[in-house]
Structure 1
Amino acid sequence: MNSKKIIQAYESTPSADLIPFMQNFSGISGNLLQLYNQEGKPLLVEKKEFLRLEHGYIERVLAGSTVSNIIIKENYFPIAGVPFQVNGQPYALFLTVEKNPIEAEIMNSIHVMYLIILFFGSLLIIVAARYIVNPILRLTAATKSMAKGKFDFELQTKRKDEIGQLTVSFNEMAKELSKLDRMRQDFVANVSHEIQSPLTSISGFTKALKQKKISEESRLRYLTIIEEESERLSRLSQNLLRLSYLQHQQQPLKVSTYRLDEQLRRVVIALEPQWTAKNIEIEVQLEAIPIQGDEDQLYQVWTNLLSNSIKFTPEHGKILIEAVMKGNQIIVSITDNGIGIPEEERADIFKPFHKVDKARDRSVKGNGLGLSIVKQIVDIHNGDIQVSGRPGTGSIFTVALPR
Structure 2
Amino acid sequence: MTEHGSADRPGRKPAKRSRRFGIPPITRRILAVNLLALGFLFAGMFYLDEYRRGLITAELATMRSEANLFAAAIGESASFADPTTGEGLISLIAQQMVRRMVESSRVRARLFNEDEALVADSLLLGGPGGVVQIEDLPPPRTEGQQLRDFLAGYDRLLARLWSREDLPVYSEKSVQTARDYPEVMLALSGETASTVRAGPDGGMVLSVAVPVQRYKQVLGALMLTKGSEQIDTSVLKVRLDVLKWFLLALAVTVLLSIYLASTIASPILRLATAAQKMRRDLHRQHTIPDFGNRRDEIGQLAAALRDMTRALWLRIDAIERFAADVAHELKNPLSSLRSAVETAARVNDSDRRQKLMSIILDDVGRLDRLISDISDASRLDAELSRENSEAVDIRQMLRTIAEVTEMTAQKQRTRLAVDVDRKRDLVVNGIESRLVQVFRNLLANALSFSPPDSTITLRARRENSTVVAEVLDEGPGIPEGREKDIFKRFYSERPQTEKFGQHSGLGLSISKQIVEAHGGTVEARNRRRPDGKIIGARFVVTLPLE
Q: TM-score scaled by structure 2?
A: 0.38
Q: Answer 1 or 2: higher relative contact order, Cα 8 Å, separation at least 6.
A: 2
Q: TM-score scaled by structure 1?
A: 0.50
